[in-house]
Amino acid sequence: MNLIKPKNLNKGDTIAIIAPSGEVNIEKIKSAVQYFENKGYKVKLGANLSKCRNYLAGSDNERAEDLNNAFADKDVNAIVCARGGYGAIRLIDKIDFDIIKNNPKIFCGYSDITALSAMILKKTGLITYSGPMAQSDFSDNDINSFTEEKFFETLSSDLLEIEPDNLKIYHTGEAEGILFGGNLATIASLCGLDFIPDEKFIFFAEDICEPVYKIDRYFTQLLNIEKFKNNLTGIVLGDFWETDNKIWLEEFLQKVSKKLDIPVYGGYPISHDKRKTTIPVGVQAKISNNGVISLKY
């Protein structure tokens, strides 16, 4: 695959905010708009951003329309999703991937947005970003300084490293491949679709409020796919917030790491927490023995 890196984000650029998943809090979106404008950026809002249909931010067609239009808009330099929740997977058959491929630009979000990042990478080769979102991370008075710093650093630089906060070594070694992954449950929900990279990849994963047996199920489901297992060169783990039994989780991760016999490291700031790094999805990367991930555009 010919990977496409979007242009870096610069002051004065226009950021589009869209809601491909759950219903948004429009007051929080206004606060996020003010934040980005104070930082020196222009902001455009998706036409359907404030709509609501049950637990979704409008109908599937409306949410897909905002996504396609944001990529097609020549004035837009970056797209930041409003929030996660649920609904992104419902848009996959409504996305115009040719528009995305012909108008590459920054696309950022995490959690449920993982479904879009994975499919955009697969269908177009565009590097997207697993990182903070408008309502979730840029709408409060106490915006996390680490999250803020890593967001702008990653979107405006070509030479980056991702370091663990507290390195946990499940299986040591070095690995190379493109970075691929995000929210574990969302990645597993793509099974049945053509979503697995054709290249060798380092899989990164996090989740929230999932019991250990479900984390086990998601990993097992993915590792039962021959292509996934054959292309997997390493695993990078973020937080698994509010799981039911940390001891069981550690036991499971130790067993999986031993069975796979590939580098598996934990302790990275990949999370639903306020403090999170921004990860380019699809960029070439290498994990060293000390757990540092070097990115190579």
**Active-site option among 111, 130, 136, 189:** 111
Q: Residues 75, 44: contact at Cβ < 8 Å?
A: yes
**Active-site option among 65, 136, 189, 272:** 272
Taking the C-alpha atoms of residue 141 and residue 119, their distance in angstroms, rounded to an integer, is 33
Show the tokens assigned to 189.
């929900």
H-type helices in 103-235, by residue range? Answer: 114-124, 134-137, 145-155, 184-189, 212-223, 226-231
Show the tokens assigned to 236.
């990078």
Q: Is 206 an active-site residue?
A: yes
Residue 255: Cβ within 10 Å count: 12
DSSP 5: P
Q: Is 23 an active-site residue?
A: no
Residue 172: Cβ within 10 Å count: 12
Q: What are the phi and psi torsion angles at 52 (to 5°)?
A: -145, 135
Sheet holding 264-266: strands in order across?
159-162, 293-296, 284-287, 175-183, 201-208, 232-241, 264-266, 168-171
Residue 29: Cβ within 10 Å count: 23
**Active-site option among 206, 210, 257, 271:** 206
Q: Residues 44, 16: contact at Cβ < 8 Å?
A: yes
Active-site residues, by number, are 111, 206, 272
